[in-house]
Amino acid sequence: MKALVYHGPGKKAWEEKPKPVIKESTDAIIKILKTTICGTDLHIMKGDVPSVKDGRIIGHEGVGIIDEAGNAVTNFKKGDHVLISCITSCGKCEYCKKVMYSHCEKGGWILGNEIDGTQAEYVRIPFADNSLYHIPVDADEEALVMLSDILPTAFECGVLNGQVKPGDVIAIIGAGPIGLAVLITAQFYTPAEIIMIDIDDNRLQVAKTFGANQAINSSNENVLEKVMSFTNSKGVDVAIEAVGIPETFELCEKIIGAGGHIANVGVHGKSVNLYLETLWSKNITITTRLVDTATTSMLLKTVSSKKINPAKLITHHFALNDIINAYDTFQNAAKEKSLKVILTNN
């Protein structure tokens, strides 16, 4: 089969790899129908995720058809149409029983990280009964690709960890796909005002069409002054970091109000400054999290009932074998006006 293979920072290739086989009775082999590229994959390509080694097939999102199922798989069978979770869960360990699937002792985020991932024609999914979801008949397959990772990540790490409440003023730093997914799911809780902050005018304009009340371009506007003018100098109730660089996390520290929550969503490859000299007395809560995908079933129902439409995050389509060009488009988001790309395995 063909797959996208990581060969160290800045190096990737679309090349021939062996088709995966069943290794454990709980495995399933999935023929990929559609997959996508995640911001985390760009962090991998920069060398920010050292657990990813040379030769790894990357990718952790997608939908497909079960090509083969191990004899211990009971919820799925050959031919089933399935959504792949970015998180692998054994369902039995101490962490799984705490609904902390991201820390599963035999799984967690291993797809496209510690084991071969989904940017390939086929992928092996361990613990298939706990790591796949049936796709409803007539569901929008492309929309459901967004449920592999970005929608539950945004909702769990950003909205739930940030404890967004009705009437809150929230700021989302980063109007990329994850930040926009935070924007979509934050509206479950009817915040009073949503401020989107980014350096890309196109993405800020998109954010306004998705429900943002205010948009600030941090490359040419004074974010702190703007936020304080919007909040009567109090700062925001919730600041959600959705980029993964020091500047954006430190911006959250500057704009958060007393009693506020800073929810980190971004993948960080460098240290950030923690300004405790100003935060120690402000009753601030700072949270970090790797998505557990504990809310995927709920989000699947919400998307299937058309209460939200994550397909509007998709801007570009490519054939799977054109994935190198897809990466170029995704990486050059400002120039290409790209959000999420869909890769189809024809």
Cα 148 to chain centroid, rounded: 8
Q: Does domain 152-287 bear CATH number 3.40.50.300?
A: no
Decide if 346 contacts 320 (C-beta within 8 A): yes
Length of the chain: 346
- Give the CATH class of 2-149+292-344: alpha beta
Q: What are the domain boundaries of the chain?
A: 2-149+292-344, 152-287
Closest CA to 13 of 2, 26, 28, 29: 2
In this prediction, residue 199 carries a pLDDT of 96
Q: CA–CA separation, 177 vs 39, rounded Å?
A: 8
Element (H, E) at 279: helix 276-279
What are the per-10-residue average pLDDT scores of the chain (346 residues)?
97 98 98 96 92 97 98 98 98 97 97 98 98 94 96 98 98 97 98 97 96 97 97 98 96 98 93 95 97 97 93 97 97 93 96
pLDDT score at 286: 98
Q: What residues pair up with 216 in beta bridges, in sequence order?
A: 197
Q: What is the pTM of this model?
A: 0.94
Residue pair 51/114 in contact (Cβ under 8 Å)? The answer is yes
* 2-149+292-344 shares its CATH topology with 152-287: no
Separation of alpha carbons 337 and 308, rounded Å: 22
What DSSP character marks residue 189? G
Terminal-residue alpha carbon distance, the chain: 13
d(CA 320, CA 3): 9
pLDDT at 269: 84
Place of tokens 């919820």: 75
